[in-house]
Structures are given as C-alpha cells and as structure tokens.
Amino acid sequence: MLPLRRTLATCSLTHTRQRLLRASRVLPAGAQAISAHRPLTGRLPMQSRQYSHAARRTIDHSKPPHRHVSEPPTTPSFITSLAHTGVLPSVGIERNASAAHLYACALRYEQGTVISSAGALVARSGKKTGRSPKDKRVVEETSTVNDVWWGPVNKKLSEESFAVNHQTAMDYLNTRDRLYVFDGYAGWDPKYRIKVRVVCARAYHALFMNNMLIRPTPEELENFGEPDFTIINAGQFPANRFTKGMTSPTSVAISFERKQMVILGTEYAGEMKKGVFTVMHYLMPKAGALSLHSSCNEGPNGDVSLFFGLSGTGKTTLSADPQRLLIGDDEHVWTDRGVFNIEGGCYAKTIDLSADKEPEIFDAIRFGSVLENVVHDENGIVDFSDKSITENTRCAYPIEFIPNAKVPCIGGHPKNIVLLTCDAFGVLPPVAKLTSAQAMYHFISGYTAKIAGTEEGVTEPVATFSACFGQPFLVWHPVKYAQMLAQKMQQHDVNVWLVNTGWSGGVYGVGRRISLKYSRAIIDAIHSGELENAEYTNYGVFNLQIPTKVTNIPEKVLDPSQAWEGTTAEFSQTIAKLAGLFHTNFEQYATQATPDIISASPQI
C-alpha cells in the first residue's frame, strides 16, 4: 500500500497539478509575469539611490540574478533536511540571502515593489492586508489532542486534509524558478529557543522573516541542522475549498506533530510571525515557561515592565521609550530566570506615523526594513496618513534599528505589568491600579476593541474580549496561562495597572481617542514611582482605584464620568452595558475561577 502522503498526492494530482501548470507564472495579485530577458520598468527613487546602490548593482537586466547562497553553502545536511519538507533538488534555493540580494529579487520579480525615499523595501501583500483568523486550523493529532483548547480559536483539521494542503503547497513551490529559505531562531534565551525554517517564493517574505526571527551567526547557520519547526509559505496559491475542513481559498494550518505550518491563499506576512508565536504559545508552557503577548522594556536601574495588549492598543508605541531599553515589542516568555523576547525584530503599525509622535519607529524605517501596503509618490516618499490600501500599514525591522534596544533581548523579572485596553465605550479610566484578583480577572477577560485593519473585514473598532490579551494565538486553555501568571506575580511582588488607550468623553464616533501624550505621561508616572505613591479614589461599577492626580494630565481626564460629554443617564447606561458584556463573557471561565477572581467583576 502506498504511504498516506503519496496516496493523497496521487489522488489530487489530476486537479492540483493542472491548476499549478496553468499558474506556473503566478505572481502577487495584480502582477504580470516578467520574462527573464524583459527589462524592469520604472526607476528607483532619486532619494533612495544612496541606500539601494548594492541592490541595484546586483540587477542584470539581461538575465536573472545570480543564484545567491549565503555562506556557508548548501551543505549535504541542509539539502537532506530541506528534502524532508518536500522541496525538489532541481529548484534554485536562496538560503539566508542578504538584504541587498532580496531587494534585487523583489524589485525584479514582484511587481509593485519599490524602495522608499528612506531606503525601506515597499511591498504589497495582495488581497489580504491583515490576518485571517477564521481560516486558521490546528491538526487534530493523538499526541496533542488533549492539550489544545479546541473551539473558535483552534479549529480542528484532519491529518489527511493537512497532508493534501502540504502537497498542494509543495507542488506549487516546486514549480517556481527560485525559492527562498531563511533559517533562524525564535527566543533569545538559548535554553528555550527553537530553530525555525521558512520556505517561501517571495523575496519580500524572506526579508520579512529575516527581520522578525533571530538571525544566526555564520557558525550557527553552518551547524543549524534539522529545524524544530518549518513554515511552508505558498500563499500565492489558493487552498482547494473542496478539501475537507476548508471554508475559503485561504488556509493557515499548523501541525504540532509534523512540526510544520502551511500557508495557502494569503500573502500577508504577519501570518508567519503569528504562526511562530502560536507554536511558542504551545511549547513554552510545556517547558514550564509562560509565553506572553506583550512588549517589554527595562529602565536604567534594571526594572522591567511588561505591556499586554492586542494590536492597536499601544504595545509597540508605549514600549519604545527613549529613556528605557527595549527588550521587545510584541512576544515574550517569562521563565524562572526572567523574561526574553521571542523575536529578532519589530512589526510596528505605521498609519499616521510621524517623526514627532514616534521618532524611534520612524527612524527605524531605512535600508533593510520592510514597509507593507503603504502609499507613496513617484519619488518613493510615503504618505503614512493614506489608508486607501488598508489601515493596517506596517513596517518590519530588526530590533537593532531601535537605538536603545537591549541585545541580547533578555531581562530580569518584571516590576510592573501594564494591561493595555482600547475601550470603544469611553467609560474605562486612562489608568487604574489593580489588586491581584482584579489583575487576574482583567487578564482572563482581555477586553479591548479590534482596531481597523488588524484583521480582514474590520473597518472600525469593535468591542471584543480576547483571553490573556492574545486569544487568537492561544493553544492551551486561557486558565493555564492565567494560573502561571498569578504564580509569577505573587512570587515577584509585581504592580499591575489597567491603562486605557481608547476613547474618552463618549463612545467611538462621539468621544475622542485618548491623547498619546497622556498615555506616555501615565507610563512615565508608573516607572517613576509616582503612581505607586499616589492618592486614589474608587471608580464605581468596575470598583477600580483611579489616581486623583497624574503629572501633565488634566484631572478631568482621569475620571471618565467627569470627561463624559453626554448626559449622566447616557453615561450610566453605557457603563452598565459594558459591565454586562464583561459578565456575559466571563461566564465561560467562572467554573474554573477562584471566588476572589469572580468577586473582582463589575458590580451591576
């Protein structure tokens, strides 16, 4: 009898290979095939030529770029390990190529790609400009079936369907003239890090993961060996929606047993980044370490702060503080030795970005960075206020591009934890000090608003609850992460704060977004110790302790009931509505929560 993979592949070849042969010159959405002997159209922006000289120098318009392979060369062990993925030996491989070479390939083969006036590679992700959580699947396997929190976050996929998707992806990738492979690490602590391999067909994707993973030294690359996890990105080619478990042409599927992730039908690079995070969210608790959707920085005295929050709540912005060292902007692990960053770079939102408001991020946009889905003029000057493609415009850059980054990205145990929320109702205070029970209640609840553009179809803030401030990436039940956090908070006597970066004065559409300068002032007051010694007053319904004064913030802003611009009755109705949503959401966790955590819920 034929092996399962071969049997499934044989059954699907009649349809799959015919589609692949017809699509053998498939490029990103809207692109046209470019002949190897056809000159490139367009010019490099004048302002960017000083940055892109190396990239332009490698382009020969009379023939394809040289088959670049970084030192060390493709050793027999590398070829063997890559063959296990399904890559044919006849395919040209670009392994851990330099940024300059990836620029050259992207400019030649990926239409719409340019170099910005600041030197960043500007790329388009096609139709998908955000993650597709409804298309995420986890393979139901004997070894992990009892570990996974099955439901709307982790939808089941059969091993057979995963094998079909894997074969479809490999059939597509093996028709390409060139593939890009990046081998790197997830996790700065050598005790916990994992080896990750990315196989893709776009130079943009390779450069993106070069920035987001931890880049190996030449010696580490030479001795890389078998990866612990492999991402197979064939996002230019759609999934077969008739495959069992598929509901659209997009599929993002993870097999913990096979140690692989397969992407079909989406070219949004963020799927790879969050795929690695999902893997770490599974592996780290098994190793006794707590994985966290948080940013992290360190003060001059070594005091570490964690910032929890979903995309758009301010994790990246508020942790990029010129007075503190940046450990990381999005994904961390808390061990018995302290905290470490999972990533080797940052993935910052750039909508309305300016040098005045976010100078560290603005200055990180230069040669080697990847700008996604931004609008620019003929000179490569980016208009960061333009939302015509998406509101989810972003930049991926190595963490070293932040001048005050701490490398290696490792710190001690946290002194402060900040739970960031983006309240679309306008009734949560800009800052509140939480008790231990309240901290666990709000961590498990994970209230925020989905910000426009972070997910497909979201065009305005929508109130939502995301367990552990990272529900889309959880693998275990939320209570497991919460229990681990409670133990560490108690062990290290951590201060916990609820900080609202959302609306004030009214609901979304009526009130205003809380000023970034106020949010920064609050974080400064936390780090200086001002809020630890401040006077507090009780804030009704949610039973929160809010400060009466914070330096550089009007007192009226600190109390939502005072900042409210509507009637008292409207405020009471609105806060009661939000409290009711909290109660309804927490019902699913009540049976596993302790009485003191339940008592921390809003009082209706």
Catalytic site positions: 131, 274, 293, 311, 315-316, 330, 394
Strand segments (E) across 68-213: 92-95, 114-115, 121-123, 136-139, 155-157, 178-186, 194-200
Residue type, 110: E
Rounded distance, CA 161 to CA 148, Å? 18
Q: E-strand spans in 466-582?
A: 495-500, 503-504, 512-513, 536-539, 544-547
Angle between helices 159-173 and 4-22 in degrees, nearest 10: 40
154-161 contacts, C-beta under 8 A, 24 or more apart? 154/474, 154/475, 155/245, 156/245, 157/245, 157/253, 158/244, 158/245, 159/4, 159/255, 160/4, 160/8, 160/244, 161/243, 161/244, 161/245, 161/246, 161/253
- What residues pair up with 545 in beta bridges, in sequence order? 433, 538
Phi, psi of 383 (to 5 degrees): -100, 95
Alpha helices by DSSP H, 23-155: 49-57, 76-83, 99-109
Question: Quick one: tokens of 293?
Answer: 């959707």
CB 184, CB 210: distance < 8 Å:
yes
C-alpha 600/C-alpha 590 separation (Å) is: 12
The set of residues, in sequence order, having a beta carbon less than 8 Å from that of 359 and lying 6+ positions away, is 322
The residues with which 263 forms a beta bridge, in sequence order, are: 233, 252
Distance CA 26, CA 20 (A): 9
74: left (phi over 0), alpha (psi -120 to 50) or beta: beta
The whole-angstrom separation of Cα 57 and Cα 100 is: 9
The conformation of residue 304, written as its DSSP 8-state character, comes to: E
What is the torsional sign of CA 423, 425, 431, 436?
Answer: negative
